[in-house]
Chain A
Amino acid sequence: MRKILRSSALQEVLALIIMLALIVVIMASASNLFLTPRNLTNLLIDSTTVGIIAVFSTMLMISGGLDLSVASTAALCGVVIGALQVSLGLWPAVLIALATGALVGLINGLLVTFVGINPLITTLGMLSIARGLAFVFSNGLTIPVFDLSGEHMAAYNAFARLSEGRWLGLPYPVWLMLLLFALGLLILNLSSYGRAMYAIGGNEEASQLAALAVKRYRVSAYVLSGLSAALAAVFLTSRLYAADPRAAPGVELTVITAVVLGGTSLAGGQGNLLGTFLGVLILSSLLNGMKLQSTSTELQNIVQGLVLLLAVAIDQVRNGNLQLGFLRRFQKSKQT
């Protein structure tokens, strides 16, 4: 039985593995730089912001939620670090930024769960608010996160090491991303929390009647999503020595694209992190490979759109999905 399960999990991501392999082969044959360790490291580093957030977006979407505000939240959290570093010190500012992310997630979660606003609308509103606040707090300026006075070298160096430090040749943010994916896989597949995510996304009412603390789980998934955005912001800020209210443009869409590419259903109740991981890798290989070819931005956008469609279409064909499954998500949110 185990074997069958394992192979079916493998089957689920098989199409993605093939797609990734194909992209790698194409990109590698187009440029012999693609497979150099240096480039692969860059590729991985570039995928960390999306990757870190995507772990928790996957969980959230499996539970039937959705968070479009992650990129704005990340920008806001970065700005919080920038704005508070001088008055409070760098590390307290980082902690407050993490708390800010969690708070934004909590507000999203409470609005979705207790007020009952549709997740898309809730987080769309939050997208606007968080981005606006990021501009307000930064006055629209990019704030250097740099030891200007020279009095706190240790703290700032440590902060910079967050993103620059390496272990076994890979930068820390990549390890963090891998760690989060591994942790997420464990949680989703083996823990009661993961089980609850699948159950709530699969059938909220049944979960409630099975005495699961549905609302608490839901809120927590949003909090984690906000927290992951803050975490991504911390590493981004550390990497750039600066906090930009414009940071992470379009990341929310990239995250959703990666998660959906990975086979997580927008309807909730289905999905897996391995798929998301592959989805993230596919998107960043595609982008990186096209960059090495100096592909124009427009063409990059078009190719990404097509790949998304293709991947989801393959999934549909593989599932032999002949039902109107695509509308079920809206059905479900209707029942809640």
Chain B
Amino acid sequence: MNALLLEMRGIHKAFYGVKVLEDVPLTLYRGEVLALLGENGAGKSTLIKILNGDYQLDSGQIFLEGQAVYFKEPRDAEASGIKMIYQELHYAPDLSVAENLFIGNLPRISGPLGRFFIDWKKMRQEAKHALALLNVEIDPDTPMRDLTVVERQIVEIIKAIYADAKLLVMDEPTAALTPPEVEMLFDTVRRLREKGVAIIYISHRLDEIFQIAQRVTVLRDGRHVASKPMSEVSPASLVEMMVGREIEARQVELAEQTAGAKVALEVRQLGKTGVFEDISFKVHEGEIVSIFGLLGSGQISLTRSIFGAERSDRGSIFVNGQEQRIRKPQDGKRAGIGFVPIDRKVRGLVLGMSVRKNLTLSNWQNLSRLSFFLPQLERQHSQTWIEALGIRMAGGMDVPVRFLSGGNQQKVVLARWLEANVKVLILNEPTWGVDVGARSDIYDQLEMLAKKGLAILVVSSDIQEVLSISHRVLTLYKGRLTAEFDHSEASQDKVLNAAAGGAL
């Protein structure tokens, strides 16, 4: 076993009196990848933010290389060789890629004024070098805002791994990456590990954990459950440790598609110049259809256009056989379409508003008279949905939705549209950053909704998810549909191949 690098002892942390971490230990050795697991809200991010100096601990101790350390600010941690890749992206949109790579630590010129002035040449060179690590072809002078989301994420990752860190923390770094990119990232991680860098790796994707980690630490409800070598655990035992109960590996039980099911949503030759072209498909009542494509293939734009969050240039949309003129979300809603956006925190929820108010945000018409809410009715409806979807929160429906875990937040967005009584439900990446337990809940819901006759369109970049929950899978490549698979004929190879443009 390598030398001990980090030891956290008895970490306690509470927010506004709510205990988030209780007596949590963590040890980390040089040259190892430690997986940090737990449900949403278990306290993983909080623990590493404490390590990083972003949050201050209430009590406990941190030892780095045997020395007691205390970080007041992230830059203190950085100075001690601790680097973070955050769950949320952190970049300055108007600065170039190169500057973003080195921000906070810009290469300075030598000489007496070196403290103040940047060595542009060196910075550009190093940026090129760093970008080459993950085989990325981005001009380091491009402003960050001109990159796609995925490119930005990759720059973030490179930024962290390129720094000369002793300890690297990755909080769900792969959520937006495609399989080849994940593979490249893992290669880099292995190389860093060989150099003796220690890595804390947080992910809800168990398969990744088994690929990359040597040891695992599991948290549940802010407490330490176990720390074990990977060789001593199985997926099932991990899940049990995390959730505290057994969850069988999910396989959605798809209801048989009845041959005569009505077409709920039909899209004909939808096009948006430069984004997607000539898209036609149907979704029947009670059917779950997934669109799978590498990120940036246009699937997000496509579903946004169907709902009205964006405008398409050409084509037509039918709901229940009626052509719809959809130019804004209100039209989408009127047509009976519900829309769960890709990033619930940024796009789905008003975080400062209560669960109840978020639930009824789109649906005041049914719950009000003369535009004034009927408080009893509103509470009653909210309660119904909270129970129906099993939304869990401490403090009831008047708690700001900010305090809910990711999975439960996702359910709130879902409930909003169910309350609106939609016929077609579009979900974008419904399980991003959602833990196994909540993921299983969400699949249950989808299954139930489909059985009730809802037409469901899912965009997902998680191939396992796509294969397990869909009646049909459509693949999208560079804005065009390339293939369609029935549940029975869809396989990982075929779908990936089609989505990479290799099929047909």
> With A202-B351, A210-B362, A211-B362 as given contacts, are A192 and B329 in contact (CB-CB < 8 Å)?
no
Chain A residues with CB under 8 Å of B364's CB are 192, 195
> With A195-B364, A199-B361 as given contacts, are A211 and B332 in contact (CB-CB < 8 Å)?
yes
Let me know if A299 is at the binding interface, CB within 8 A: no
Chain B residues with CB under 8 Å of A206's CB are 341, 346-350
Task: Indicate which residue in A1, A191, A203, A213 contacts B350 across the interface (CB closer than 8 Å).
Answer: A203
Bitwise interface map of B from 105 to 120 toward A, beta carbon under 8 Å scored 1, else 0:
0000000000000000
Contact across chains for B348 and A209 when beta carbons are under 8 A apart: yes
| Bound CA span A230–B383, Å | 44
Closest to B353 in A: A202
Chain A residues with CB under 8 Å of B341's CB are 206, 209
Closest to A203 in B: B350
Contact across chains for B352 and A270 when beta carbons are under 8 A apart: yes
Let me know if B368 is at the binding interface, CB within 8 A: yes
Let me know if A235 is at the binding interface, CB within 8 A: no
| Bound CA span A195–B368, Å | 12
Contact across chains for B396 and A1 when beta carbons are under 8 A apart: yes
Chain A residues with CB under 8 Å of B362's CB are 210-212
Let me know if A269 is at the binding interface, CB within 8 A: yes
Let me know if A207 is at the binding interface, CB within 8 A: yes
| Bound CA span A202–B352, Å | 7
**Range class of the A interface residue count:** 20 to 34
Closest to A335 in B: B346
Contact across chains for A193 and B371 when beta carbons are under 8 A apart: yes
Contacting B at CB under 8 A, from A185-211, are: 186, 190-193, 195, 198-199, 202-203, 205-211
Let me know if B333 is at the binding interface, CB within 8 A: yes
Let me know if A5 is at the binding interface, CB within 8 A: yes
| Bound CA span A221–B307, Å | 26
A318 CB to nearest B CB, Å? 13
| Bound CA span A198–B365, Å | 17
Task: Indicate which residue in A186, A193, A199 contacts B353 across the interface (CB closer than 8 Å).
Answer: A199
22 pairs, A vs B, C-beta closer than 8 Å: A190-B375, A191-B368, A191-B371, A192-B373, A193-B371, A195-B357, A198-B350, A199-B353, A199-B361, A202-B352, A203-B346, A205-B347, A206-B341, A206-B347, A206-B348, A207-B350, A209-B341, A210-B329, A210-B416, A213-B330, A269-B352, A269-B353
| Bound CA span A199–B352, Å | 9
Contact across chains for A192 and B368 when beta carbons are under 8 A apart: yes
| Bound CA span A192–B351, Å | 18
| Bound CA span A33–B257, Å | 83
B337 CB to nearest A CB, Å? 9
Let me know if B187 is at the binding interface, CB within 8 A: no
A161 CB to nearest B CB, Å? 31
B444 CB to nearest A CB, Å? 24
| Bound CA span A208–B309, Å | 8
A198 CB to nearest B CB, Å? 6
Chain A residues with CB under 8 Å of B351's CB are 202-203
Of A5, A192, A209, A213, the most chain B CB neighbours within 10 A belong to: A209
A63 CB to nearest B CB, Å? 12
| Bound CA span A211–B326, Å | 12
Chain A residues with CB under 8 Å of B396's CB are 1
A-B interface contact total, Cβ < 8 Å: 77
| Bound CA span A13–B347, Å | 31
Bitwise interface map of B from 282 to 309 toward A, beta carbon under 8 Å scored 1, else 0:
0000000000000000000000000101
Bitwise interface map of B from 38 to 52 toward A, beta carbon under 8 Å scored 1, else 0:
000000000000000
Closest to A334 in B: B93
Of B333, B350, B353, B372, the most chain A CB neighbours within 10 A belong to: B350
Contacting A at CB under 8 A, from B393-418, are: 396, 398, 416
Contact across chains for A202 and B329 when beta carbons are under 8 A apart: no
Chain A residues with CB under 8 Å of B307's CB are 209
| Bound CA span A195–B416, Å | 15
Bitwise interface map of B from 337 to 369 toward A, beta carbon under 8 Å scored 1, else 0:
001010000111111110001001110110010
B365 CB to nearest A CB, Å? 8
A331 CB to nearest B CB, Å? 11
A275 CB to nearest B CB, Å? 16
| Bound CA span A191–B372, Å | 4
11 additional A-B pairs beyond A202-B352, A202-B353, A206-B346, beta carbons within 8 Å, are A190-B372, A192-B373, A195-B364, A198-B357, A199-B361, A202-B350, A207-B361, A209-B307, A210-B416, A211-B329, A212-B330
| Bound CA span A270–B347, Å | 18
Chain A residues with CB under 8 Å of B352's CB are 202, 269-270
Contact across chains for B361 and A195 when beta carbons are under 8 A apart: yes
B375 CB to nearest A CB, Å? 7
B491 CB to nearest A CB, Å? 34
| Bound CA span A47–B402, Å | 38
A6 CB to nearest B CB, Å? 12
B480 CB to nearest A CB, Å? 26
Contact across chains for B373 and A190 when beta carbons are under 8 A apart: yes
Chain B residues with CB under 8 Å of A192's CB are 364-365, 368, 371-373
Chain B residues with CB under 8 Å of A202's CB are 350-353
Of A1, A199, A211, the most chain B CB neighbours within 10 A belong to: A211
Bitwise interface map of B from 469 to 502 toward A, beta carbon under 8 Å scored 1, else 0:
0000000000000000000000000000000000
Chain B residues with CB under 8 Å of A270's CB are 352
Of A186, A203, A213, A270, the most chain B CB neighbours within 10 A belong to: A203
B10 CB to nearest A CB, Å? 23
| Bound CA span A206–B351, Å | 10
Closest to B375 in A: A190
